[in-house]
Structure 1
Amino acid sequence: MVNEKCTYCTIVFLFLQFVSCNSVDDNTRFKQVTNNLVVLLKKGEFTRIEKYIDENNIILEINALSDSLGYKNKGKSKTIFSYNTVNHNASQYFKDLHSEYRKYKKMKIISNYLENKKYHFFIYTKTENAPEITEIILKIVNDKVKIYDYKSFTTGLSFREDFIHIAFYNINKSSELNQAIRLLNKSTNLASRGDVEAALENYDKILEPYKYFKTFIQTKVNFVLRYGEELTEEQRFQVFDEWIDVNWENKGFRYYNLYDFYKNTEGDSISLMYRDSLENYIRKENALKGIVY
């Protein structure tokens, strides 16, 4: 009996040793996926990146939002989701990053931290214009490391929030959304033909809440920056102010752009405050030295 107990204890001990030797802590798993994602981004292997997207929970969030407002479209939302594909939307941003990397061959991880079971890491990519800083947030879902969200410091993109927002309106109010998109496209065409004043007037015809969608405001900012040389400083500032306002919760974007704005207008004191806020946000001192400042 004693020998049987000893044998049992030995087996349990060896099993626990095996498990402990072969298990990987969450932090290590996050770092492995982080490094893998950067390699895939550089290579342009978007299909493999897409497999990391936490799409099932995004579907659930779209359904929950629809249900909470009285829309019962579980089946339809999944169809729309497949049609638009979260992966397609995710890939487009990653394709843009890869395109810039191919031109300039500069992409690297500049900071990372683990908080509340989510792993945040920050990638710098050299681009033709402003340096692109991307925050990618990972989370373990059903024992798999998934991309929970990602955010752009330069454009204000907040993938999870923006996609759910657009998908909800695409599912439940598609005709209104399509009308807003037609007006947005008309504004872009007017601006490209040199009539930015008319483009802005046409933009104001877009109904709420669509005219304040972050993706819509981003398009407005793009055509003002590209074609709006003749606009007054007040007009340009108003567009910039709207851009900051709709992306206020994206702290990386807010600190990054306000640092850049005040650096070029009000001098060092305010810009340095936002620079410090930016460093505190990514939690690594001087990580952006030589990149942003």
Structure 2
Amino acid sequence: MNTHLMTTIKGINNFLNTNNEPPQDLLENLVLELEVSKLYIPAIHEDDHIIFEHLESKEGIKILPLYSSKENYSGDNELTANGISYYADIILELDFEGAVIDPYDDSFFIPRDLMLNFKEKSSQLEDEVCDVYELKNISREVKNEELLKFIQNDSNFNNFTGFIDKLKDVILLNVVSSHNDLSSYAFDGVLVTLDVGGFDLSVKTSGVEKYGVLFTSLDAIKGTYDENSGLYYYYQIASLKNLFEYILMNDLDGIIINPALDDYYVPRNILLDIYCNHKDLIDNPKYRYGLHYAFII
């Protein structure tokens, strides 16, 4: 958990421990990794409210203790995991000086002013969201011809600036799976995620790295999924903001578009940049509920 965040923190600490200034790109990566981290906090449940542990100096300076993993906490209270924006709200509202990650190990302090980067922004209008039948029709017709032409051009290997430019108009598909045949739950080829208890996101392993997979069309899915794997596969319109968030928060290493066909790799650092700095390209309200439904292939 939080492997990429802790690697970044270790790199920064290596500079600080030798009285050197960390390079700017490492500090910028820290902010990006924090935005997609899930950190643990010890909590005490009393009646209908929760009290979080905090550290306080003799001078009254208060700091929120956070943990990168359950193993780094040796206390007795229950741990709860939240995104950094949740802790930013606590620190800013209660006038804490900041937070410290793993206070009794290789500790790392996050000052209060840095927390301003993680305030939640207002969401877009709900009346723009596509209903399930619009999602289904779009998913069967989408081709992403411009993006496909781009990723099939060898000169665009690692051209991530061009890739980001193409994101504005794309509608990508992702594949999910289940160990059980869920077709009996389907109505008109549609499965409701809550009705079936959720799905497993399809992930491709390459060496020690793991990647989420995305497709440009239903034909691309049909041309590559393994009908004899023992799993049952379904597909969704990818809600890119939610999907990127899942990939980053679960320490995956990036995405692959059209695996086994075009194999266009987008590494984690580019996903971080897109997720944190180009949210307008991936938070299209029309497809926000894409993960609520899946369709029979």
TM-score of the two chains, using structure 1 as the length reference? 0.25
Question: Which structure is higher in strand share?
Answer: 2
Question: Which structure is higher in helix share?
Answer: 1
In terms of Rg, which structure is larger?
Answer: 1
